[in-house]
Chain A
Amino acid sequence: MGTVTGTVPLAPSLMRREVRLDHVRLLQGGRLVIDDLSGAFLPGSLTALIGANGSGKTTLLRAIAGLHPLAGGRIQGGGPRAVTLLPQGSQLDRGFPICCQDVVALGAPRLGWFRPADAAQRQAAHDAMIRVGLEGLEARPVQALSAGQFQRLLFARAMLCDAPMILLDEPFTAVDTATVQTLLSVIKEWHAQGRTLIVVLHDMDLVRRHFPRTLLLTGGGGNVWGATASITPSLAA
Chain B
Amino acid sequence: MLDMLVSPFAMGFMRRALAGCLALSVAGPPLGVFLVLRRMSLMSDVLQHGILPGIALGAMAAGLSLWTMGLGGVIAGMAIALTAGWLSRRTGGREDSQLAGLYLLALAAGVALISAQHSIDLTHILFGNVLAVDDPALFGMAGVATVTLPTLAVIWRPLVLESFDPGYMAATGGRGGLWHLIFLVLVVLCVVSGFVALGTLMSVGLMMVPAIAARHWSESLAGQTRAAVLIAVASSYGGLMASYYVNMPAGPAIVLTAGALWVVSMATGPRASLWRHAAPSI
Q: State whether A92 and B172 are in contact (beta carbons under 8 Å apart), knowing that A97-B220, A99-B220, A111-B157 are contacts in the complex.
A: no
Is residue A80 within 8 Å, beta carbon to beta carbon, of the partner chain? Answer: yes
A66 near B171 with CB under 8 A, answer yes
Is residue B131 within 8 Å, beta carbon to beta carbon, of the partner chain? Answer: no
Is residue A201 within 8 Å, beta carbon to beta carbon, of the partner chain? Answer: no
A84 near B171 with CB under 8 A, answer yes
Question: Count of A-B contacts with CB under 8 A?
Answer: 77
Residue from B39, B168, B178 with most neighbouring chain A CB atoms (10 Å)? B168
A84 near B160 with CB under 8 A, answer no
B224 near A114 with CB under 8 A, answer no
Residue in contact with A80 in the complex, picked from B154, B160, B172, CB distance below 8 Å:
B172
* Least Cβ–Cβ distance between B265 and chain A, in angstroms: 15
What's the Cα separation between A87 and B164 when bound, in Å?
12
Number of interface residues of B (CB under 8 A): 30
What's the Cα separation between A141 and B155 when bound, in Å?
22
Is residue A33 within 8 Å, beta carbon to beta carbon, of the partner chain? Answer: no
B171 near A67 with CB under 8 A, answer yes
Q: How large is the interface on A (under 10, 10 to 19, 20 to 34, 35 or more residues)?
A: 20 to 34
Residue in contact with B224 in the complex, picked from A97, A102, A163, CB distance below 8 Å:
A97
Which residue on A lies nearest to B153, using beta carbons?
A: A114
Kindly list chain B residues whose C-beta atoms are within 8 Å of the C-beta of A97: 37, 215, 218-221, 223-224
Which residue on B lies nearest to A141, using beta carbons?
A: B219
Residue in contact with A96 in the complex, picked from B163, B167, B223, CB distance below 8 Å:
B163
B220 near A98 with CB under 8 A, answer yes
Is residue B92 within 8 Å, beta carbon to beta carbon, of the partner chain? Answer: yes
Is residue B175 within 8 Å, beta carbon to beta carbon, of the partner chain? Answer: yes
B92 near A29 with CB under 8 A, answer yes
Is residue B280 within 8 Å, beta carbon to beta carbon, of the partner chain? Answer: no
* Least Cβ–Cβ distance between B32 and chain A, in angstroms: 14
Kindly list chain B residues whose C-beta atoms are within 8 Å of the C-beta of A141: 219-220
Complex interface bits, B142-167 against A, C-beta within 8 A gives 1, otherwise 0: 00000000000111111011011101
Complex interface bits, B30-48 against A, C-beta within 8 A gives 1, otherwise 0: 0000000101000000000
Kindly list chain B residues whose C-beta atoms are within 8 Å of the C-beta of A197: none
Complex interface bits, A149-188 against B, C-beta within 8 A gives 1, otherwise 0: 0000000010001010001000000000000000000000
B165 near A65 with CB under 8 A, answer no
Is residue A81 within 8 Å, beta carbon to beta carbon, of the partner chain? Answer: yes
Residue from B157, B158, B172, B223 with most neighbouring chain A CB atoms (10 Å)? B172
Which residue on A lies nearest to B154, using beta carbons?
A: A113
What's the Cα separation between A65 and B178 when bound, in Å?
19
Which residue on B lies nearest to A30, using beta carbons?
A: B92
What's the Cα separation between A25 and B202 when bound, in Å?
48
Question: Would you list which residues of chain B between 200 and 243 have a CB under 8 Å from chain A?
Answer: 215, 218-221, 223-224
What's the Cα separation between A96 and B220 when bound, in Å?
9
A113 near B157 with CB under 8 A, answer yes
What's the Cα separation between A80 and B167 when bound, in Å?
11
Q: List 25 A-B contacts (CB under 8 A).
A: A1-B175, A1-B178, A2-B175, A62-B167, A65-B170, A80-B171, A80-B174, A81-B172, A81-B173, A83-B171, A83-B172, A85-B168, A93-B164, A97-B219, A98-B160, A106-B157, A109-B172, A111-B157, A113-B155, A114-B154, A141-B219, A141-B220, A143-B219, A157-B168, A163-B172
Interface residues of B (CB under 8 A from A): 37, 39, 92, 153-158, 160-161, 163-165, 167-168, 170-175, 178, 215, 218-221, 223-224
